[in-house]
Structure 1
Amino acid sequence: MKKTIYVALVLFAFFTSCKGSDPSLSKQTIAVSTSSIALNYSSQTSSVTVKMTGTKWNATSDQSWCTLSVNSSSSKETDVTINVTGNNSFAARNAKIIFTLNNNDTVSVKVAQSALPSIPDYSSPIAASSVGMTSDVKTLAHNISVGWNLGNTLEVPGNETGWGNPLTTQQLIDGVKAAGFNAVRIPCAWDSYVEDTISYKIKATWLARVKQVVDYCYKNNMYVILNIHWDGGWLENHPQYAYQEKVNAKQKAYWQQIAAYFRDYDEHLLFAGTNEVHVDYNAPSAENIAVQLSYNQTFVNAVRSTGGKNAYRTLIVQSYNTNISYAVSYMKIPDDTASKRLMVEVHCYDPWDFCGDTGSSAVNLWGASYASYGKISSWGQEDYIKQQFSTIKTNFVDKGYPVILGEFGAVRRSSLTGTTLTNHLASRAYYLGYVAQYAKNNGIVPFYWDNGITGNNGFALINRSDGSVFDSQALNAIVTGASNGVYPY
């Protein structure tokens, strides 16, 4: 939005002549087209015009969120664009721009930006109810044998079929249950399904659609994890102080609505507050950790505030970027009014050059017994997986917090041929079974990442169109590995 305001304001600077002075400087003027600008909370620009009879002016802003297109000029008339970033706070703010003529006399412009509009409280609390919510986290985790992700579907911003998968049906979820899974993780978008961007009220049609998919799972007596996923990155990409207040307000609004809508569901429904919150894939700063943990706390508070069965519902909180090493180094469990109702979530795509890399650094094989068939990664082999899972057990499971391995998997490199393909598929199956088994041995509940892609470099196990098995080799490895694993609780 660009707004131009022109209100005449003239400041005359009179300079008395003295012995040896330049007569041309005896009288100079500077004028700015307005003394004040009022803007709303969004990112935008505004224009002013500066006129002078001197030789040069300079300008500075006392706030970093308010910058100028031109900070100095020797022209007699100059148009200056004032750039203002969005106000992510619920408090109004002001900036002052000083125009200085020949480093002497000044004229100022005040820039006032309004606060974010307030967001309604959606908690609509009711009395707490423990009916159907009797299992503590260890009991509940023990009841999940192995889970499956409905990936690249409900988390697609604004369009469930936008990333190539068909609408989810009861037939698909029936097929997932028949394949051996008793839990479904539903990555979900919410920010792209609001009635407006001021109240953040979620569309009733979208809540009803998500409910329909949850009910598909309930009809099979399956456990369900419902989360807030990437959804354009409004939360996931912003663990910084500059976004903290705004993101927490949205996080609260969305989870109050989701929780209130689903609060009559029993303990088979679990909520997961975020997904992979991160700036990049480097180690986080203290700021990143503090802000990301605040998103976890807001989630817990929002769900509990709605009452009903949500007073006892098992909730899942994430480590920074759901990274195992970052979980061990930085994760702090939120405060909770419920007892023994929190789990932690991490993901595992290690080693990435085997699991997900599709570039020149990719490798086709994993595991010591497959090294004789070709190149394996220089890291992330069996001992590494064991060690990573062991640290999770020590730091969380042994302290009363079972862990969800919300995503794990490895791409199927089906463009390979001959024995190269055969060895790759066998190695991949070995990896998937190994991860599933050793996850469970360490109290970590495994959920395979299925994105529905059956082509080269896809993760699909199940055909999305009819629920039939697409990749029986990988599926059998996961289910068998999970069956061989034994939870330590």
Structure 2
Amino acid sequence: MGNQLDAPNEGDLGRKILDSDFPFIKAGGFDTVRLPVRFSGHAGTTAPYQIDATFMARVQQVVSLATGAGLNVIIDMHHYDEINTSPTANTDRFVAMWRQIAQTFAGAPDTVWFELLNEPNINLTNSNLLTIYRPALAAIRETNLTRPVIIGGGNTSQVSSLATLQMPDDPYVVPTFHYYDPFNFTHQGATYITPTPPLGATFGSAADYAQLDANLQLVKNYIARTGRVPFVGEYGAIQYIATSDRAKYYGTVSNAFASIGIQSCAWSYTNTFNLRTDSGWITEITSVIATTIGK
């Protein structure tokens, strides 16, 4: 549900979430929604770092709508930019927010999962991530003993981050990575990238497939080494690309990871990597998305 609850304010970066979205998503054959939320934009900057009650109630409402439609939900802390640049200075706030989130959703169905932090980067690396993950996880376990908690590695959780990602000593922690290779194809024309990748890149060369094969091997190596099965928390291609080429990418990537037992969350619903328009699903894309269970 990108660019919605992770916007500075819901509606700033596109339309707001509608009550009808979740039955629509379920009817479209999807089982899970990942809900990026900018909790840090609605929380105090001094102790006790209280999250705004109205905003938290909106998150609760959205989660209830999704679970009521029969969907699994991943509540993801998104766009906490300050912790990437100053991890130590923001650790207490990070932990306090997660304690509040965990308390709020302690009674939620077990189909609701938490994701500690979207795409750690800059000064948050695999070498120091556990210094913020461990205390946040401990705060969650005060009220949610067995709820699955997702963690991603540094360098924006690229697949290469799995090689050195350290896991907390907790059997209910699930690793994730994001996949946007080749970046000059998936993000062409994205003006929020500096420099902006130029338009016109294509996907499907021998080099592209070799890169995908190499990345599949990285994931297989990770599973063999750790015994943990990660999932693709994001993958996709921007809307400026021809629909047929986008469909080729979504289909190729989701099928490739499904072939080694890896599930994936497609980015995104209605934003600039959209899977639907006002008219409905972009079926040329959604019809080729694969999962490990053959849907």
**Fold shared, TM-score > 0.5 on shorter chain:** yes
**2:24, 2:219 → 1: CA distance?**
32
Task: Give the secondary structure class of the aligned counterpart of 1:186.
Answer: strand
- Distance 1:208-1:403 versus aligned 2 partners, 3 A rule: same
Partner of 1:229: 78
Counterpart check, 1:482 vs 2:291 = yes
Partner of 1:302: 139
- The structure with more radius of gyration: 1
Partner of 1:190: 39
Q: Is the 8 A contact 2:152 2:175 kept in 1?
A: yes
How many Å apart are 1:294 and its aligned residue? Answer: 1.9
Q: Which runs of structure 2 are paired with 1:4-153 in the superposition (5 Å)?
A: 150-153=1-4
Q: Is the 8 A contact 1:439 1:485 kept in 2?
A: no
What is the aligned counterpart of 1:325 among 152, 160, 180?
A: 160
Structure 1 portions without partners, runs of 5+: 1-149, 369-377, 415-423
Counterpart check, 1:471 vs 2:285 = no
CA deviation profile, 1:146-187 (whole Å, cap 9, x unmatched) = xxxx00010112x1111122x212201111111111100000
Partner of 2:6: 155
Task: Give the secondary structure class of the aligned counterpart of 1:413.
Answer: coil
How many Å apart are 1:224 and its aligned residue? Answer: 0.6
- Count of residue correspondences: 288
What is the aligned counterpart of 2:239 among 412, 417, 422?
A: 412
Task: Give the secondary structure class of the aligned counterpart of 2:215.
Answer: helix
- Distance 1:366-1:152 versus aligned 2 partners, 3 A rule: same
CA deviation profile, 1:18-40 (whole Å, cap 9, x unmatched) = xxxxxxxxxxxxxxxxxxxxxxx
Partner of 2:193: none
Partner of 2:21: 172
- Distance 1:364-1:196 versus aligned 2 partners, 3 A rule: closer
Q: CA RMSD in A?
A: 2.3
Q: Is the 8 A contact 1:403 1:443 kept in 2?
A: no
Q: Which runs of structure 2 are paired with 1:363-378 in the superposition (5 Å)?
A: 363-368=200-205
Q: Compute the TM-score of the two structures, normalised by the length of structure 1.
A: 0.55
Task: Give the secondary structure class of the aligned counterpart of 2:33.
Answer: strand
Q: Is the 8 A contact 1:169 1:216 kept in 2?
A: no
CA deviation profile, 1:266-289 (whole Å, cap 9, x unmatched) = 22000010011111xxxx8xx833
Partner of 1:343: 174
Task: Give the secondary structure class of the aligned counterpart of 1:407.
Answer: strand
How many Å apart are 1:292 and its aligned residue? Answer: 2.4
Q: Which runs of structure 2 are paired with 1:350-389 in the superposition (5 Å)?
A: 350-358=181-189, 359=196, 361-368=198-205, 379=207, 381-389=208-216
Q: Is the 8 A contact 2:188 2:201 kept in 1?
A: no
**2:248, 2:167 → 1: CA distance?**
33
Greater fraction of residues in strand: 1
Greater fraction of residues in helix: 2
Q: Is the 8 A contact 1:319 1:331 kept in 2?
A: yes
Q: Compute the TM-score of the two structures, normalised by the length of structure 2.
A: 0.89
Counterpart check, 1:289 vs 2:126 = yes
CA deviation profile, 1:115-144 (whole Å, cap 9, x unmatched) = xxxxxxxxxxxxxxxxxxxxxxxxxxxxxx
**2:58, 2:293 → 1: CA distance?**
36
What amino acid is the match of 2:222? N
What is the aligned counterpart of 2:261 among 443, 451, 455?
A: 443
Q: Is the 8 A contact 1:151 1:187 kept in 2?
A: yes
**2:30, 2:125 → 1: CA distance?**
35
